Amino acid sequence: MFASLPLLPPDPILGLSAAYQADPNPQKVDLGVGIYKDDAGRTPIMTAVAKAEQLRFNNEVSKVYTAPAGYPGANEAAMHLGFGAEHPAVQGQRVRTIQTPGGCGALRVAAEFVKRAKPTARIWVSTPTWANHVPLLGNAGLELKEYPYYDYANHQIDFARMCEVLATVPEGDLVLLHACCHNPSGADLSREQWDVVAAMAEKQGFVPFIDMAYQGFGVGLDEDAYGLRLLASRVPEVIVAASYSKNFGLYRERAGSLSVVFANPEQANAGYSQLLNVTRGMYSMPPAHGAAIIDLILHSQELTAEWQQELASMRVRIQSLRESLVAQLHDVQTKQRFDFIAKEKGMFSFLGLNEAQVTTLKKAFSIYMTNNSRINVAGLTPEKMAYVAKAIASVL
């Protein structure tokens, strides 16, 4: 049975990580994999997370299954974190939230749920989008379409072309939107642009599908949820897939949530039953540890304050890295302007290099990034900044 299976190439991003690990060059720099790193190049456990884990260790008395929907306290906290506790959709009992194995789990459960509700629905994704959106959504059997998003030449959102295509999206299709810190471009919609998208969704009847993987990494926890909260207040149905890998540092714990806004509480109850039936056929019950940590942190004023402070420091650090990289690139060359990097948000930006230049950076300088020159800004350190800037200048 298995003899006919061909050998597949390694995942491009995970393959980069393996190549980096095998590189003996002490000057090597990993700007590929999208994880937060501190100035020492480590991905630390957040202080609030460590304290919550100790509390859990001291008080956990059983390893019994979690409920099919996950930790009720974590689900409530996740819903309030995303929508705000006073949001009219929340107050109107129109939102249902379940725990999922990471943001990836949320996206796949959402795709299966959509397939069950409307098998002919198409999901429109931005060009570019996170590469894993395609298998996570498409492997559920849904058709994927694309809309223009990033203007590579001018390093900004091509909003006019984006709207031109979104104006053709019919009622009942879904439009995947990045809540903040667009992956892979770092170019986020402004509030005015979110307002335009909301008006289009309202008029045309397409369903916003929000991927919120970086809440708190852009401008702030509430500011980064502006588009989500606006859409949930303007249209009857919204899907939100959230990840807590970045803002809680819970990468390996696979902590995520899926929230769906329904037109009314009756539809919400029916939809919730369907969501649980979908997950029953996929993984039955979700993992416990990550959600339990979120539950503890967000129901403790002390831990919440500590977590928010640490998250803010991570956000400020990334922004300072952006500004430092721009300054150093401009110090060592005059061929190209890189101001756009400081204006973008979150961990990612495109450098605007071609594949040959990226290959040279990897082979000659041991600087690793994806072939389209997307870098993880958080992978930079003050110690390596000048080295990276001079290497980039050399290939321009």
256 in Cβ contact with 243 (< 8 Å): yes
* Identified catalytic residue from 130, 224, 307, 362: 130
Quote the distance between the C-alpha of residue 279 and its chain's center. 21
CA distances from 323 to 58, 93, 214, 309, 318 (A): 43, 43, 20, 21, 9
CA 349/CA 353 separation, integer angstroms: 11
Q: Work out the angle at residue 157's Cα, subtended by the Cα atoms of residues 357 and 217, and round it to the nearest 5 degrees.
A: 85
Please say if 130 is a catalytic residue.
yes
Q: Which residues of 220-231 are buried (b: 16+ CB within 10 A; e: fewer)?
A: bbeebbbbbbbb
Reduced 3-state DSSP string for 5-50 = CCCCCCCHHHHHHHHHHHCCCCCCEECCCCCCCCCCCCCCCCHHHH
Task: Kindly state the tokens that stand for 314.
Answer: 């991570």
Task: Kindly state the tokens that stand for 240.
Answer: 């939100």
CA 394/CA 149 separation, integer angstroms: 30
* Identified catalytic residue from 30, 211, 224, 295: 211
291 in Cβ contact with 80 (< 8 Å): no
52 in Cβ contact with 303 (< 8 Å): yes
* Identified catalytic residue from 51, 188, 224, 246: 246
CA 100/CA 107 separation, integer angstroms: 9
Catalytically annotated residues: 130, 211, 246
